Structure 1
Amino acid sequence: MQLDRRRFITGAGMAGIAGLAGCSGGPSGDGNGNGGGDGDGDTNVGMVYATGGLGDGSFNDQAQTGVQRAESELGIQYQEAQPQEVADFSDLQQEFASSSDPNYDLVSCIGFLQADALTDNAAEYPDQHFQIIDSAVDADNVASYGFAEHEGSYLVGQMAGLLTTQSFSAGAGSTQSDSTNVGFVGGVEGDLIGKFEAGFTAGVKAANDDVDVQTNYVGDFNDPAGGQEAALSMYDSGADIVYHAAGNTGTGVFRAAQERGRFAVGVDRDQSVTRESFADVILASMVKRVDNAVFDCIEAEVNGEFPGGESVALGLDDDGVALVYGQELGDAIPDDVTSAVSSSRQSIIDGDISVPTDPNDA
């Protein structure tokens, strides 16, 4: 069995070499992803990324940072697979699990859309260790890692809700004096992205119950044009700030913000850095430490402490999520806004603020 060679990028990132995947060997090719580091390379890791691929400046790139750190610090070897669509997940997971040259000690599955395929494959390959990010699979050979996205998104919403009620200008953006309106652009609708929306909306309403929140799900994590269209509609309907949880689709949100002279908020990584050309409109990013989750699971595998059957939750209290202000615009955000956000962060950690996970409860 062979898979379409377009699905595989080996090496460190998009500069790697596309290779074929055979049933006995998994992905092949040269480059940093084919091994390295200071250790003996006894541990092999297979990475199955989310749709949208590497170079998204967000979710997948954050996951890659984790495996690259493991290569550097732990001496593991790794190979990478980039699916074109959800239907590819099962085959790619199986390719790593069935490989004998090398044998993959851990297969890391990035993204909640992999859960259905992994539920079947974990049962099919009971001796294979798997990791899943952003979902939970109930199996002894799967370590599940989730994040309190709603907590970090609450802080984003509070910041946006406070700023839209003010006359605020910074970089290439400004708020509209006659509007108190913000927006949320999601990728694929579901429980996970719903947590982002729920937290964001709750934070906005906590700041000012009169602020309107527009919501649009594009239906794809790799559709910048769709993200741009959705955000343009929001800005044209009065939105000052649009927050995205949409992978590479969010690149279109940033383009729309620049086009309309408004603001945006990134996700997963500090996108004022990873999408530097849009730093003049990116107020902040809701960072998810996917890199830490990937690294921690690999480290546990290396140490013979794989947390199979466990679900690990990472929130504000352990820096699993955080609101990070933009490199260019962060210093311009008024102190009363940043102080209010900081206070809410501590209140969430202390349990004084309960953040909803369902948009219907926000």
Structure 2
Amino acid sequence: MMALATVVAIAGTLLSACGGASSSDNSSKKEKKVKIGMVTDLGGVNDKSFNQSAWEGLQSFAKKNDLSAGTKTDDDVRYLQSTQATDYTPNLNQLIHQNFNLVFGVGYLMAGDMTKVAQQNPKANLAIIDSAIVDKSNKPLKNVASITFKEEQGSFLVGVVAGLTTKTNKIGFVGGINSELIKKFENGFKAGVKSVNPKAEIYSQYAGAFDAPDKGQAIAATMYGKGADIIYQAAGATGNGVFTEAKSEKKDGKKVWVIGVDRDQYEEGLPENVTLTSMVKRVDKAVNDVSQQTKDGHFPGGQILSFGLKEDGVGIASSKQNVSKDIINQVNGYKEKIIDGSIKVPTTDKEFKAFKS
């Protein structure tokens, strides 16, 4: 933090002594408010997943700093919702041209647009969730803070929960778009399952979208129909369909579970109580931290920030209502091994194959 110059302090003292100081003098100027903007991806701000978590982080930042937050043009903290991919660039540019001090893009699907917009607006401060923005020479762009997570680590832990909880030895994974990012969720999860239950059979399928709950429900119905009693979903709003199907199956008398993602999704399983646990990805914490750094004059532009178990960036939901203490103790043991490097969690199919062997 920058300290006031000694001469200013002395001058203030002299003015006070002479009766010339007032509550509105230069030493107590009102602090200039910061403006932070956010552009959602197609899942929308109420996706009950990472868009929502990002917005919750900004709302927390706004409350802490006495700022207004919403969708009004005069709000200090504001989001714009994208309904199609072609909205990304104009939404980012709109906030930049309205002089927001920092603009977040939520989701790796925005990486191309973020790169283009950042290069066209070198004086703008930008940040992206789930991607690293680099130039043609593979160097990070100086006006973009890239926020990434070690999703495979948190996914490993909920895999341990699934492997120790399943009664049928059949477990499902539903992904949004088959990509390098979501493969981290899948392979980390499968590694966790296999570490404690080598005999478990794992079904994996991708919906091809993050905003298609109907597809998520159809895939879940197939997996539950094949005997899976636990499904881990990493599919954004598509994953809401997995919860819908699980609750329907529960009403029919079947004991099935869903493992939530990105935020604690315990409430998404109510009233049928189908959420076993959730892999929490602290997008809210990361967004809050980067916003505060920017407000304090330390925007982390050009940095690729990585949040894992060690940084409390990923983990298992704190609610844990449906996980036994014995299983949690085992999860904590694996957590320590991952943090100290004893276990290197796979992120790709190739790494998972080597891990399993």
Same fold (TM over 0.5): yes
CA distance in 2, matches of 1:334, 1:292: 27
Out of 260, 266, 274, the residue aligned to residue 266 of structure 1 is 260
Residue-by-residue CA offset, 1:59-78 (whole Å, 9 max, x unaligned): 11111111111111123412
Q: 1:213 is matched by which residue type in structure 2?
A: I
Aligned partner of 2:253 in structure 1 is none
CA distance in 2, matches of 1:200, 1:62: 21
Q: Which moved more, 1:68-77 or 1:330-339?
A: 330-339
CA distance in 1, matches of 2:50, 2:142: 26
TM norm structure 2 = 0.82
CA gap of 1:40–1:71, structure 2 versus 1, over 3 A, is farther
CA distance in 1, matches of 2:278, 2:290: 25
SS of structure 2 residue aligned to 1:316: coil
Residue-by-residue CA offset, 1:205-233 (whole Å, 9 max, x unaligned): 11122111101111111111111101110
Out of 102, 105, 108, the residue aligned to residue 109 of structure 1 is 105
CA distance in 2, matches of 1:143, 1:226: 33
The ranges of structure 1 where at least 4 consecutive aligned residues each deviate by more than 6 angstroms after the TM superposition are none
CA distance in 1, matches of 2:317, 2:310: 15
Q: For 1:49-88, what aligned pairs fall within 5 Å after superposition?
A: 49-76=40-67, 77-88=76-87
Work out the number of aligned pairs and report it. 304
CA gap of 1:229–1:64, structure 2 versus 1, over 3 A, is same
Structure 2 gaps of 5+ residues are: 1-29, 68-75, 134-139, 251-255, 353-357
CA distance in 1, matches of 2:203, 2:269: 26
CA gap of 1:332–1:72, structure 2 versus 1, over 3 A, is closer
CA contact (8 A) 2:103 2:126 kept: yes
Residue-by-residue CA offset, 1:307-351 (whole Å, 9 max, x unaligned): 1100110011121001115x4xx3443333222111101110111
Q: For 1:165-314, what aligned pairs fall within 5 Å after superposition?
A: 175=167, 179-261=168-250, 262-273=256-267, 275=268, 277=270, 280-314=273-307
Residue-by-residue CA offset, 1:262-297 (whole Å, 9 max, x unaligned): 100001111113x25356010100011111111111
Percent same amino acid at aligned positions? 40
Residue-by-residue CA offset, 1:87-125 (whole Å, 9 max, x unaligned): 2211211111223xxx11111111111111111111000
SS of structure 1 residue aligned to 2:317: strand
TM norm structure 1 = 0.81
Residue-by-residue CA offset, 1:117-152 (whole Å, 9 max, x unaligned): 111111000000001111111200000111110000
CA distance in 2, matches of 1:90, 1:268: 25
CA distance in 2, matches of 1:110, 1:117: 12
CA distance in 2, matches of 1:276, 1:234: 18
SS of structure 1 residue aligned to 2:178: coil
Aligned partner of 1:121 in structure 2 is 117
Q: For 1:304-343, what aligned pairs fall within 5 Å after superposition?
A: 304-324=297-317, 327=319, 330-343=320-333
CA distance in 2, matches of 1:279, 1:113: 33
CA contact (8 A) 2:276 2:322 kept: no
Q: 1:355 is matched by which residue type in structure 2?
A: V
CA contact (8 A) 2:310 2:339 kept: yes
CA contact (8 A) 1:201 1:359 kept: no
CA contact (8 A) 1:182 1:212 kept: yes
Deviation at 1:40, TM superposition (A): 5.0
Deviation at 1:237, TM superposition (A): 0.8
CA distance in 2, matches of 1:351, 1:269: 25
Q: 2:203 is matched by which residue type in structure 1?
A: Q
CA distance in 2, matches of 1:156, 1:132: 26
CA distance in 2, matches of 1:259, 1:292: 33
CA contact (8 A) 2:247 2:269 kept: no
CA contact (8 A) 1:155 1:341 kept: yes
Aligned partner of 1:155 in structure 2 is 157
* Cα-Cα RMSD: 1.5
CA contact (8 A) 2:45 2:52 kept: yes
Deviation at 1:190, TM superposition (A): 0.6
Structure 1 gaps of 5+ residues are: 1-38, 165-174
CA contact (8 A) 1:198 1:360 kept: no
SS of structure 1 residue aligned to 2:103: strand
